[in-house]
Amino acid sequence: MAVVFEKPKSLTDATLHYCPGCTHGIIHRLVAEAIDELGIQGRTIGVAPVGCSVMAYDYFDVDFVQAPHGRAPAVATGVKRADPENNIVFTYQGDGDLAAIGTAETVHAAARRENITVIFVNNAIYGMTGGQMAPTTLPGQVTQTSPYGRDVETVGYPVKVCELLSQVDGAAYLERVAVNSPANIKKAKKAIKKAFQNQLEGKGFSLIEVVSTCPTNWGMTPVKALEWLEQNMLPYYPLGVYKDIYAEEEAK
């Protein structure tokens, strides 16, 4: 009998704690599938900071290090440099972590071209702490701390991470994907696997930004949240490759 579905070996049997409709589970699976397909489970070390991903060590069947809030790229740098030939290191971070308290670590890890893989989940809100406005919250978006909508005149504009890092010379590969449809999930899987493959080949800093939903803190049903993402987030955060220096070199 043909096997049509199988849980990735790099995921544990633990029940996810994420809210119903949250897309973290999809992203976890894609990361685990990439690890399995590349045959690097025994070499992989994940780094999880504070946020909804704080318990990722329960879900991935690989070694894990817990990092202080925002410091995952700095911790990943140390883990990778400790054994650069063998350690395959990835961080799994939300927007409140990577694009706020951890902005400096993110930018400087890219500037140093650290040979690590960063999985960046952008759901435009602080999820774990109750739905406050995040660096990626859209203009006019209502949150617990912007009840009348984000006012760019007083709190500024959202941070576009891929666009920002595309100007950093050390960044090797940057792509923004989404997991709101089967077609986009397939593209996200391809990008995540490429980011890990780049690390195996010593190509340097790779970051995959995954545009995601947070139905609970958005105050929506899971289905409505997917619709809102497509109608509001994707126009502001266009999907695509923002930098791929090796593809650019090959095209010359």
pLDDT, tens digit (0-9, with 9 covering 90-100), for 3-21:
888 899 999 999 999 998 8
- Bridge partner residues of 244 (DSSP): 173
Please give the model's pTM, rounded to 2 decimal places.
Answer: 0.95
* Diameter of the chain measured on Cα atoms: 61
Residue 52 pLDDT: 86
Domain coordinates in residue numbering, the chain = 24-247
Q: Which residues contact 233 (CB under 8 A, 6 or more apart)?
A: 122, 124, 138, 178, 211
CATH of 24-247, one of 3.40.50.970, 3.30.465.10, 2.70.70.10, 3.20.20.410: 3.40.50.970
- Read off the pLDDT of each residue in 93-113 and give the average, rounded to a whole number: 95
Parallel, antiparallel, or unpaired for β 240-244 and 171-178? antiparallel
- Bridge partner residues of 91 (DSSP): 47, 118
Say if CB 27 and CB 46 are below 8 A apart: no
Q: Quick check: 248 pLDDT over 80? A: no
Q: Which of 123, 138, 105, 62 is nearest to 205 (CA)?
A: 105
Q: Which of 141, 155, 97, 143 is nearest to 122 (CA)?
A: 97
Q: In this predicted model, what pLDDT tens digit does every residue of 54-93 receive, in sequence order?
A: 889 999 999 999 999 999 999 999 999 999 999 999 999 9
- Helix, strand or coil, per DSSP, at residue 76: helix
